[in-house]
Amino acid sequence: MSFTAPLTTPGLALDPHWHRRAVFYEVMVRSFMDSNGDGIGDLAGLISKLDYLQWLGVDALWLPPFFESPLRDGGYDVADYTAVLPEFGTIEQFRELVTKAHERNMRIVIDLVINHTSDQHPWFQASREDPQGPYGDYYVWSDTDEKYQDVRIIFVDTEESNWAFDPVRRQFYWHRFFSHQPDLNFENPKVHDEIFDVVRFWADLGVDGFRLDAIPYLYESDGGTGESEPPTHAFIAKLRAMIDEEYPGRILIAEANQWPHEVVEFFGTDEQPECHMAFDFPVMPRIFYALRSQQATELERQLSEEVHAPEGSAWGVFLRNHDELTLEMVSEEYRQAMYGWYAYDPRMRANVGIRRRLAPLLDNARSELELAHALLFSLPGSPFLYYGDEIGMGDNIWLPDRDSSRTPMQWTPDRNAGFSTADPGKLYLPVVQSLVYHYNQINVESQLAQSRSLLHWVRNVIHVRKAHPTFGLGTMRVLRTDNESVLAFVREYAGTGTHLGDSAERILCVFSFAHNPVSVTITAEGLEGAGLHDLFGGAPFPPVGDDGRLTLTLGSQSFFWLGADAAR
């Protein structure tokens, strides 16, 4: 497969606010490409696929942990923060990945998992064996398991308590996730120093940013919820100050599965900035809710309440990632409805969520896949794609936990989907061979050969998005419509005129979630009398009335992105 005509974003390479316009792509090293035939994806394999990612239009990669680890939580159980897991490659290869990515104007963001380590980490081993020694205070130890009773359990499928008893030290240790992931003790200033050194190590290797995994949970206190407690924010602000001082331009991304008004605190304040980006957890499940309920109302409400990310910062929007589709940010009623639609088989559930990939969730319906992506690429914030979703890869719910959607990338219809030359039995996880999503049909090579494939469609949307900085930099205003199935908003950007395409612009985005054609009248306040044209093909549309009203018809589950000309 050869990839010419890379999709780049004008002016992005030198933009200090690059994260506000970038298209991110989450790729697990283990799952993407195996270069040496041992059945496990690796850094060299990922390097060999950078041309593909550049062709697709990806501006930044997010790599989940690829560090030394027993892999009992997909690498989020780190046993050595500054060593690459040998089966993934070497530090030298990581350096090469950074260089080759940068040559293509592509940035690299890595995961920083600092709330906890693996119980195999030498710090924990030392801490349990020698309470008085230098590592004795690196973790949160207690004689009882009664403290912090108000703190919720996250992995409800596997854990009954946030405390576990260690038979060696004969004390309990605190863990917010699996019991093999003891939480680090942030009350200990030495832990701060260690983490700063880890950040320096990777920043020195050239990484462009860090995703702060499980960031709300650093500190807990008596009577507190263990989420976003003040010292947690103080620590992030301190980390940000160090980054700004020593590595200006590198970014921090908060993974905080919370409501917008809580997440927004992770951006910090003007005096004490924290993260450059934060994932938008509440909006994601509402997209899925709208698709099945055929109602835009709940999504509309959420977007109207959306707290604006402060100047220079951005939301990270996503449809799926390597975790379950979390339903923590929806009411019980909506959650039950979503389980009914999307996880009718109990096997499809995990914790408070659904462990399926995008295409199977949407039952491989092309119109829904397009509608969902159109939202992803036009909502305020920067989009994060999950590897394989650009070709509509399937999942395997017979695999345990979140491995269901971490199977090998499907490149070709050949053995192991072109992912590896290993004996198929040796793969880290089997390739998908289900009736609908078999790698014979669903793979990059065959979609490249079909001009109307999902892959080409996604690439084209990325192309259109890149041509309009408004999507990344503009504000959003939800508009009133007379049809409950239709969501309409306008993205507006004043423009800087500093480079091509960066000029004042208004884009009207309209989405119909109805499963049949509809007609809608939109009150397009501020767009009175404006001419409209389709952003994809350029075709003119009837103008907005002088009273600001616009009547449109939409096919089932469809959308428009309409550029608005200056009022006549």
What's the burial of 221, exposed, middle or buried (CB within 10 Å: 0-12/13-18/19+)?
middle
User: What is the C-alpha to C-alpha distance for residues 375 and 166, in angstroms, rounded to an integer?
Assistant: 47
Q: What's the closest the beta carbon of residue 46 comes to Ca ion, in angstroms?
A: 10
Q: What's the closest the beta carbon of residue 213 comes to ligand GLC, in angstroms?
A: 5
Using CB under 6 A, count the residues that bind ligand GLC: 9
> Quick one: 209 or 388, whose CB is closer to Ca ion?
388
User: How many CB atoms lie under 10 A from the CB of residue 180?
Assistant: 17
- For residue 255, indicate whether it is catalytic: yes
Residues 99-118 close enough to bind ligand GLC by CB under 6 A: 113
Q: What's the closest the beta carbon of residue 563 comes to ligand GLC, in angstroms?
A: 37
Catalytic residue among 183, 255, 300, 492: 255
Choose from Ca ion, ligand GLC, none: what does 42 bind? Cβ within 5-8 Å by kind: Ca ion
Sign of the dihedral defined by the CA atoms of residues 435, 440, 445, 449, in that order: negative
CB 330 within 8 A of CB 286: yes
- The two tokens of residue 35 are 């270069």
Choose from Ca ion, ligand GLC, none: what does 76 bind? Cβ within 5-8 Å by kind: ligand GLC
Give residue number: closest CB to ligand GLC: 76
Choose from Ca ion, ligand GLC, none: what does 38 bind? Cβ within 5-8 Å by kind: Ca ion
CB 29 within 8 A of CB 43: yes
Paired strand residues for 384: 24, 318
Q: What's the closest the beta carbon of residue 176 comes to ligand GLC, in angstroms?
A: 8
> Of 550, 559, 479, whose CA–CA distance to 521 is shortest?
550
User: What is the C-alpha to C-alpha distance for residues 19 and 2, in angstroms, rounded to an integer?
Assistant: 28
Strands (E), 330-430: 353-354, 382-386
Q: What's the closest the beta carbon of residue 88 comes to Ca ion, in angstroms?
A: 8
User: What is the C-alpha to C-alpha distance for residues 394 and 431, in angstroms, rounded to an integer?
Assistant: 10
> Quick one: 177 or 386, whose CB is closer to ligand GLC?
177
Choose from ligand GLC, Ca ion, none: what does 492 bind? Cβ within 5-8 Å by kind: none
> Quick one: 64 or 469, whose CB is closer to ligand GLC?
64
Binding site for Ca ion (CB under 5 A): 34, 36, 38, 40, 42
User: What is the C-alpha to C-alpha distance for residues 546 and 550, in angstroms, rounded to an integer?
Assistant: 9
> Quick one: 115 or 557, whose CB is closer to ligand GLC?
115
Spell out the residues 6+ positions from residue 332 whose beta carbon is closer than 8 angstroms to its own: none
Q: What is the dihedral of CA 386, 513, 395, 87, to 10 degrees?
A: 10
> Quick one: 34 or 274, whose CB is closer to Ca ion?
34
> Quick one: 66 or 177, whose CB is closer to ligand GLC?
177
Binding segment for ligand GLC (CB under 6 A), chosen from 68-76, 350-358, 454-462, 497-505, is: 68-76
Determine if 183 is a binding residue for ligand GLC (CB under 6 A): no
> Quick one: 39 or 57, whose CB is closer to Ca ion?
39
In order, the DSSP letters of 357-375 are -HHHHTTT-HHHHHHHHHH
- Conformational region of residue 374, where left means phi above 0, alpha means psi within -120 to 50, and beta covers everything else: alpha
> What does residue 454 show for φ and ψ, rounded to 5 degrees?
-60, -40
> Of 296, 255, 542, 429, whose CA–CA distance to 419 is shortest?
429
User: What is the C-alpha to C-alpha distance for residues 320 and 338, in angstroms, rounded to an integer?
Assistant: 15
- For residue 197, indicate whether it is catalytic: no
Q: What's the closest the beta carbon of residue 87 comes to Ca ion, in angstroms?
A: 6
User: What is the C-alpha to C-alpha distance for residues 412 and 418, in angstroms, rounded to an integer?
Assistant: 5
Determine if 73 is a binding residue for ligand GLC (CB under 6 A): yes
Determine if 323 is a binding residue for ligand GLC (CB under 6 A): yes
Q: What's the closest the beta carbon of residue 38 comes to Ca ion, in angstroms?
A: 4
Stated as kind and residue range, the H or E segment containing 549 is strand 549-554
User: What is the C-alpha to C-alpha distance for residues 25 and 40, in angstroms, rounded to an integer?
Assistant: 20
Choose from ligand GLC, Ca ion, none: what does 108 bind? Cβ within 5-8 Å by kind: none
> Quick one: 30 or 276, whose CB is closer to Ca ion?
30
Determine if 119 is a binding residue for ligand GLC (CB under 6 A): no
Choose from Ca ion, ligand GLC, none: what does 362 bind? Cβ within 5-8 Å by kind: none
Catalytic residue among 68, 213, 370, 390: 213
Choose from Ca ion, ligand GLC, none: what does 565 bind? Cβ within 5-8 Å by kind: none
Q: What's the closest the beta carbon of residue 73 comes to ligand GLC, in angstroms?
A: 5
Choose from ligand GLC, Ca ion, none: what does 36 bind? Cβ within 5-8 Å by kind: Ca ion
> Quick one: 34 or 280, whose CB is closer to Ca ion?
34
Residues 150-179 close enough to bind ligand GLC by CB under 6 A: 177
Residues 209-248 close enough to bind ligand GLC by CB under 6 A: 213-214
> Of 318, 281, 285, whose CA–CA distance to 299 is shortest?
285
Choose from ligand GLC, Ca ion, none: what does 316 bind? Cβ within 5-8 Å by kind: none
User: What is the C-alpha to C-alpha distance for residues 565 and 506, in angstroms, rounded to an integer?
Assistant: 8
Binding segment for ligand GLC (CB under 6 A), chosen from 15-23, 72-80, 384-392, 512-520, is: 72-80
Q: Which positions lie near ligand GLC, rule CB under 6 A?
A: 73-74, 76, 113, 177, 213-214, 322-323
Please give the positions annotated as active site.
213, 255
